[in-house]
Chains A and B, each alone.
Chain A
Amino acid sequence: MAFRNYILVCGGTACESSRADQIYQNLLEECKAQGVADEVQVVKTGCFGFCEQGPIVKILPEDSFYVKVKPEDAKELISEHVIKGREVTRLLYDKESSRKHAKVEDIKFYQKQFRIVLRNCGFIDPENIDEYIAREGYQALEKALFEMTSEDIIEELKTAGLRGRGGAGFPTWMKWNFSRQVANDTKYVVCNADEGDPGAYMDRSTLEGDPHSVLEAMTICGKTIGAHRGFIYIRAEYPLAIHRLEIAMKQAREYGLLGENILGSGFDFDIEIRLGAGAFVCGEETALLQSLEGKRGMPQPRPPFPAVKGLWGKPTVINNVETWANIPVIITKGGNWFNKIGTADSKGTKVFALTGKIRNSGLVEVPMGTTLREIIYDIGGGIAHDKKFKAVQTGGPSGGVITDESLDTPIDFGSLIRIGSMMGSGGMIVMDEDDCIVDVAKFYLNFSVDESCGKCAPCRIGGRSLCNILEKITVGNGTLQDLDTLESIGEAMKKGSLCALGQTTPNPVLSSIKHFKEEYLAHIVDKSCPSGTCKKLITYSINAEKCIGCTACARKCPVAAISGERKQVHIIDQSICIKCGVCMETCKFGAVEIH
């Protein structure tokens, strides 16, 4: 190593939000102030994935893993760790055992992970192309341009068995091959970076941490199918990712890796960024193309498939960010290498955004075939605050709930469908005993209804009807007939909707009815919400034995629903109470109870 120490500061959006940039600046200044600026290199990298513990700083070569670092810690990190060679123990990650975990490989969060897509995230400075090149970057492009024919590349992808990571799992080689076989002078390559699933941020982190991997892969695709222009369609809500892509494209052009006559091969390919504008349906490929053309993002009937007739009527390959990020590795290491990872049904790895009521929220990449239990308990550290696990939802608003009994299923595209959910793009939301399953289904339905483009009736009308019924159930007006109606509308939407949005909208409802029917029945028959979430179905009351008559609750109540003299037991007038819960928060004696 040329430097005595390398200090890697996480520059992902979550850590940046917690002032990681200030940490980076302070470290640079401290290096100067303490006279080690020439011996230490401070690098701002992409996301480490361990967002729960951010901001994260890693110091090499010791591989010390510092968590929850504050800008004012910079001075000590330099004076103690760098100059005196003593780790700053108080900042090391130490939550899981009595032993201080210093090294990355000792941390359970990382042990079961296997990183292909996120190979460079947290290792390189995404704003410096040399660091990408130093880690075998652009070798795949060179190989694809000079040593492989288009057929070779397709064959390699076929051997690899890579399936699209956007949700549906369509074999990537087939898509490319369709486009390759169509004779047309103009073809396009599109990267779908319109990550709309609420609770998922795999694609954003990949683009922020390793933008070149996507540029390289798109260029390889261009050469394979005979396209010379590519578009990255990215959410406008991801400014950092856009910024880093722009830098990466500029550097790649300067190095002759993008633009005209790439690496002297005579092949031209360039990429443009186009911004999305906040429409979930634009994750659907035909809607995305409409949006790229500057129109309302309404899905179109397929066939024709975009691979044959896509953007402006030309053959277009659309892949998701994660799919693209796999490709350079497959070309460099070979399809056979990739094919050995994963299950018979699905090869390679999958990145998940593990969030919700989990101890270690973050971004995890695991080989296909890892079980949900391993992800939630071994990597995620189990449920936060020692609550009881209730369910996990994969596939976001398009997926379904998975209960404890299915947690040992090795996950791949097929197995998730068999247990009533789907892979989706990689959101993985963990729910605990405090979450009301009917309320969560209503949340997802509201989302999908809001995002429905309105073009086809099953989605537009069906989704709204499902929502209305769920609302009725959560306020205590549900009937048993409603359960049957939910199921019949849901089935009709699955069969009759034009695109995947409408076809999958009923999934959260149908799967939760299947697994948590008793909870629906509690809302409908007993008019109660077991987790205490649905406000209309709960009542607050004061336990006469615990109330000391301090009047605190009565003074805080915004609607004066609580009466009672000082040192007398207080009473809540249920006809006035708006169930805001302020009394319960205020009472120091636990006298306010919820039913």
Chain B
Amino acid sequence: MSDNNEFTFSPQLVAFIKEWKTKPGNLIMVLHRVQQEQGYISREAADQVASLLDVPLATIWGVVSFYHFFKLTKPGEHNIQVCMGTACYLKGAQAIIDELDKQLHLPVGAVTEDGIFSLEAVRCVGCCGLAPVMTVGGEVFGKVTKDQVAGIIAKFR
């Protein structure tokens, strides 16, 4: 993997990990914090967590790869999530994903070449009354139609 030169965690993150080190069942909470700071769990980050918590790298990789929430690759500057919960699916979420692919040449799970956008298909966001729903960098857009997609993306360029 790339950019492993001078890979370090922030002092706050190291302090957090030390604080949690003695608590049983700490690994998932620690990984959440790492992802919050770094955007994803890189191989280097996993190595670092392994040495700070003193657990085998394999254990960490086992957990990271089991849970959908943990990302293994760096997301784009603006991460786009399209809800694929049942309500959104029935109301045309797939058409939004297709439109995003058409507009940005961005299939699900990929990042645009310029690194600006990444696309995820996610489980229920919990705004079923607004279906279909997409979010960009945490901002929620409800009752989205295919025609609105271009305008929404343009806001983040």
Give me the interface of A with B, judged by CB distance under 8 Å: 13-14, 17-18, 51-52, 54, 195-201, 204, 236-238, 274-280, 291-297, 312, 353, 355-357, 361-362, 393, 396, 427, 429, 431, 435, 440, 443-444, 453, 580
Contacts and interface: CB of A to CB of B under 8 A. Distances in A.
A71 to B, nearest CB: 15
A357 B90 contact: yes
Contacts of B126: 13-14, 195, 201, 204, 237-238
B32 A355 contact: no
B66 A14 contact: no
A206 to B, nearest CB: 12
B66 A279 contact: yes
B32 A275 contact: yes
Closest 9 A/B residue pairs (Cβ): A51-B129, A17-B140, A277-B67, A198-B85, A199-B86, A278-B69, A278-B68, A294-B27, A355-B87
Contacts of B32: 236, 275, 277
B40 interface: no
A18 B126 CA distance: 13
B68 A199 contact: no
Nearest to B133: A17
Given A201-B126, A275-B29, A431 B90 contact: yes
A51 B131 CA distance: 11
B105 interface: no
A295 B63 contact: yes
B28 A51 contact: no
Residue of B31, B98, B128, B140 with highest tally of chain A CB at under 10 A: B128
A361 B91 CA distance: 12
Contacts of B125: 13, 237
Nearest to A241: B126
A22 to B, nearest CB: 13
Contacts of A429: 86-87, 90
A291 to B, nearest CB: 7
Given A278-B68, A294-B63, A356 B87 contact: yes
Interface in B5-32: 24-29, 31-32
A361 B28 contact: no
B26 A294 contact: yes
B130 A17 contact: yes
Nearest to B90: A356
A296 B63 contact: yes
* Most chain B C-beta atoms within 10 Å of own C-beta, residue among A52, A237, A296, A355: A355
15 contacts: A18-B142, A51-B127, A51-B128, A51-B129, A198-B89, A200-B128, A277-B70, A291-B28, A292-B25, A294-B28, A356-B91, A357-B90, A362-B129, A393-B86, A396-B86
B128 A353 contact: yes
B127 A198 contact: no
